[in-house]
Amino acid sequence: EVQLLESGGGLVQPGGSLRLSCAASGFTFSSYAMSWVRQAPGKGLEWVSAISGSGGSTYYADSVKGRFTISRDNSKNTLYLQMNSLRAEDTAVYYCAKGGALWFGEKGADYWGQGTLVTVSS
């Protein structure tokens, strides 16, 4: 059974940093792209970032480019999102999602975690 468990969310001040983790199990982690998708309270879904199965290719939304860094440790079956220079508009539930293929663009995101809430506020 595929499981994705996010952790690391919480309250952080504007300008601060936070690292999210997503522990994966139930599939060959290195064979699939992974993504982070966020959802602000009461709002729609927003794609944040993706990484190829090998970790060699990374992709970012313009809204987080230069501030967020996606990475993965295939030996630990874990996905990460390092978030720096956080802003109030980064407040959202952050979901970890498994891609349906090695490359994030095809086959959609077929499994999602339950999400972790990040609140940026003073």
Partner 1 sequence: QSALTQPASVSGSPGQSITISCTGTSSDVGGYNYVSWYQQHPGKAPKLMIYDVSNRPSGVPDRFSGSKSGNTASLTISGLQAEDEADYYCSSYTSSSTLVFGTGTKVTVL
Query: Contact residues for partner 1 (CB under 8 A)?
Result: 35, 37, 44-47, 50, 59-62, 95, 97, 100, 104-110, 112-115
Least distance (Å) between residue 105 CB and partner 1:
4
Residue whose CB is less far from partner 1, 13 or 111:
111
Least distance (Å) between residue 17 CB and partner 1:
23
Going by C-alpha positions, the residue among 20, 43, 42, 40 that lies closest to residue 97 is: 20
Least distance (Å) between residue 43 CB and partner 1:
8
- Spatial neighbors of 42 by CB under 8 A, at least 6 apart, are none
CA distances from 55 to 95, 107, 116 (A): 18, 18, 22
